[in-house]
Structure 1
């Protein structure tokens, strides 16, 4: 860091200290953000971390309601055109002004090669400037919920990206890195101060932020602590102030410590299993010459072999809600009347396998993260044990998300576990990203097993443009029923949030598991 930059930072910190107590919050999480590039991975942990540095045209408040951010207002000027008025006087962290050109650049970058955010932009037809302070987004078909898509499409500085050879996103599938992976330049309430991947990432309050920062926290230190016991010990000893997630077996101990408490609440994320339904032969199986997962009977056998109630009781210690749907309560279009799982029935599962031509079962590889979701490795072990009872031998590969995500995002998998929170809090997001037939524009971008039903696709497009809520809800119900009848995925549960927080720290726990630094205060 040069002297001039150091002086500017010191002056900014001094200014902050004059109006708020210069406080530090230390966060210990089971995993790290894999990159500082806001378009490189559509994963909530990464978007939560980078969302403190970068912003979208719109944002979410403490109640997850849509609010203005880099756009001050928006309106639909025709069925396929939305106009956004841009906020004036905003500067990036390097001092350059925020302009309409940055918005056009960022949307093109998010839609381009290597981006993991294409499912948010796949139905854009054109993004164009309207003068210097407005942009228009034209979509291929009417898209009444378009603004809801944009909260997680963060805006980057076009000049900064060009100067730092970062005009394309970091591609996690190919292991390609660039300057945006380790440095950042957003408009958000916090600046990136230091990035040490898998060790520590530190942030400092942006003293020239255009908006209000409600909390008094100046410095944030984010440290990945993968070991559950170590993470809890760090909280109880005062080495960190916040941990996420709290191991379920340690909730009572933390609450009884007198030093910390556990914040628990429902999460919007659904945990599910996916299967390769496209290849003629699975990559990881002893079945040669054909793909068992192309047979609905095999998929249903796997479903009915999973003892979800025991997983809820033993693995999740009650902190989950078994589900039959790919979205949960709190998501627009969720229908509790449809949320009835196929019964757990190993005998029926064995018969289905036999009817499909696998009376003795078969072997299959399974990919699973062990540091991304609550008890994810244990869930996969339980599923493997359940499937063993019907003759299926699961060769489980559980690994850190740093290697897991690049692997499965390349579709280098036969059977995998994933979690999904619709970034729009609407069922269309899950349909478009998880259940739509895969194309090269972003449709079905996270449909990693390539499930495909043209009728579901047709309904997804209709749902996208329908403004009549009863009609829209009916179409969502129909699409979900088609997917369920196909056994397109194996939904498991919605997990519960559990954050450990020191007694002198106040923060807001959001149901999407995002952790905005701007709401944090130290007493």
Structure 2
């Protein structure tokens, strides 16, 4: 069946290629964007794909510095108030004008039920309209990095959402869909022409775009190909022009081919494991009546049982950088002096388990995606094998991200994998979204195991408001030390980017793994 699936995928791509013009770019990824709704899932692939159609007030340049997009300028008018001047003469793809009303609507939509973007706007007190082309954002406390924080808050048309009964984002946890799941109406450089979930999504250049489009791609066809071998074969045969990720074992093969190359670079994403530390009894474990993950000794035993150097060598083939922190190099607040892992020590881990009352270990289910991160399922298999050596039996549940993310976002998990790139490129994002105690406003929204430390929460609030860089850095270091000492999560590594690109294509590789179509050029 696998061989048949490969041929079907290649045949579909071949059919699309027959009608392709010189400036059509065909992109393959191991997974699909799960929705066209830009507020429904805070996942980098979805935000990357949707970000070609929708735009934020403040975006990013090729060097990841801040860039004016739908806002032409911004300034603080008081410690808690920012004024944004909005770009004039901008139209949504349906011809409706972009105004301040759309900004107010979109920011409110990110806080609505079902939104996965609450952690980006949870500290905003109010968004006010000054006039049709100016707004003010008032924060609950001084927030010096606000422009960075809202760089992934995409603006939707208020009227379009109202007309299409899409005023609230879809809730991926409940499997609910609406018109915004399959259709799109942004201000961006590309329009959505066709959406076939898990099959093909086609974008066309927006001829009425307000800004400059550096690249020459007129049409972009995005196709999910989950099978690694099929994805590589499609690139080498010319059926696709860009694919990612390139399996680490195939990098040399692609580089040795006549028509393709691999763009390799560091990624800002950190891969880690989380544990349910909230429930009194785990949902999926042989331990009844109590939760072993509430005991730091158990968390430490799991940590020290993982042979991260072995995973780097055998699973990742060197294409990863083991880490002891929840953020990596390139993120503001990363401190190499703190980036020290506990030693790999299976015998010590066994003793920790015994001291915690589990001399024979226990069983627990581990949830893992198999099409989201580089070698994600293989990493989980390696972790399961490591834990087996200390008596812990892992029941591995690996599945496609289409069902994986809704499950873990419901917190329907006891032990899980997640990857995180701070969208602000600042440590506060990871602290606020991943490590702070969860509330119903968006704080700790992706702290899916509900690790909680009042000291870390206090520091996170102070970090948000502190304007003195030295003091702020010291607070970030203290917060990370609190989390590391508690073993709040199990950090694994930062993976490397590996994009397969036809030699006729020029593009920009960003360390956040976003892929703006406007910077893709097909050479003639």
TM-score of the aligned structures, taking structure 1 as reference length: 0.96
Residue 90 of structure 1: CA displacement? 0.2
CA distance in 2, matches of 1:275, 1:471: 31
Give the match for residue 233 of structure 2.
Answer: 233
Q: For 1:179 and 1:351, how far apart are their aligned partners in 2?
A: 55
For the residue of structure 2 that corresponds to 1:336, the secondary structure is coil
CA contact (8 A) 2:22 2:522 kept: no
1:130 alignment partner, SS class: strand
CA distance in 2, matches of 1:294, 1:180: 40
SS of the residue corresponding to residue 141 of structure 1 reads coil
Query: How far apart are the structure 1 equivalents of 2:296 and 2:131?
Result: 54
Number of residue pairs the alignment of both structures matches: 503
CA offsets 1:400-421 (integer angstroms, 9 cap, x no match): 0000000000000000000000
**Alpha-carbon deviations, 1:371-395, whole Å to 9, x = none?**
0000000000000000000000000
Q: What is the aligned partner in structure 1 of residue 453 from structure 2?
A: 453
- 1:218 — aligned with what? 218
Quote the Cα distance in structure 2 between the aligned partners of 1:82 and 1:112. Answer: 22
Deviation readout 1:429-470 (Å, 9 max, x if unpaired): 000000000000000000000000010000000000001111
Q: Separation in 1 of the partners of 2:299 and 2:130?
A: 50
Q: Name 1:242's counterpart in structure 2.
A: 242
Residue 349 of structure 2 is matched in structure 1 by: 349
Cα distance in 1 for residues equivalent to 2:28 and 2:133? 40
Verify: 1:275 aligned to 2:275, yes or no. Answer: yes
Q: What does residue 501 of structure 1 align with? A: 501
Q: Deviations over 1:82-125 (max 9, x none)?
A: 11000000000000000000000000001111000000011111
Does the Cα contact within 8 Å between 1:326 and 1:491 map onto a contact in 2? yes
Rounded Cα–Cα distance in structure 2 between residues aligned with 1:445 and 1:496: 26
Which residue of structure 2 lines up, in the alignment, with residue 183 of structure 1? 183
The answer for unaligned runs of 5 or more in structure 2 is 1-20
The answer to whether residue 96 in structure 2 is matched with residue 96 in structure 1 is yes
Q: Deviations over 1:321-374 (max 9, x none)?
A: 000000000000000000110000000000000000000000000000000000
Residue 464 (structure 2) pairs with residue 464 (structure 1): yes
Provide the rounded CA distance (Å) in 1 between the counterparts of 2:132 and 2:438. Answer: 36
- Residue 150 (structure 1) shift: 1.1
Q: Distance in 2 between matches of 1:61 and 1:22?
A: 27
Instruction: Find out whether 1:47 has 2:47 as its counterpart.
Output: yes
Offset from partner CA, 1:21-71 (integer Å, 9 cap, x none): 961000010000000000000000000000000000011010000010000
- Please report how far the alpha carbon of residue 132 of structure 1 lies from its aligned counterpart in structure 2 after TM superposition: 1.6
SS at match of 1:217: coil
- Alignment-derived partner of residue 480 in structure 1: 480
The correspondence of residues 258-337 of structure 1 with structure 2, limited to 5 A, is 258-337=258-337
Q: Is the 8 A contact 2:39 2:117 kept in 1?
A: yes
2:136 and 2:393 map into 1 onto residues whose CA distance is 53
Could you give the per-residue CA deviations for residues 122-147 of structure 1, whole angstroms, max 9, x where no partner exists? 11111110122111111111100000
Partner SS state of residue 348, structure 2: helix
1:518 maps to 518
Asked if the contact 1:22/1:216 (under 8 Å) is kept, the reply is no
Offset at residue 157 of structure 1 (A):
0.1
1:106 is matched with which residue?
A: 106
Q: Does 1:415 align with 2:415?
A: yes
What corresponds to 1:9 in structure 2? none
Give the equivalent residue in structure 1 for 2:378. 378
SS in 2 for 1:272: strand
How far off its partner does 1:204 sit?
Answer: 0.1
2:173 and 2:410 in contact (8 A); partners too: yes
Q: CA deviation at 1:258?
A: 1.1
Aligned residue in 1 for 2:145: 145
CA contact (8 A) 2:72 2:86 kept: yes
In the alignment, the residues of structure 2 paired with residue 479 and residue 310 of structure 1 have an alpha-carbon distance, to the nearest angstrom, of: 29
**Segments ≥4 residues shifted beyond 4 Å:** none
Match of 2:430 in 1: 430
For the 8 Å contact 2:52–2:189, the answer to whether it is kept is yes
In 2, Cα distance between equivalents of 1:226 and 1:462: 43
For residues 242 and 37 of structure 1, what CA distance do their matches in structure 2 show? 24
C-alpha RMSD of the superposition = 0.6
Instruction: Specify the SS of the correspondent of 2:303.
Output: helix
The answer to whether the 8 A contact 1:312-1:321 is kept is yes
Q: Is contact 1:125–1:138 with CA below 8 Å preserved after alignment? A: yes
The separation in 1 between residues aligned to 2:405 and 2:136, in whole angstroms, is 34
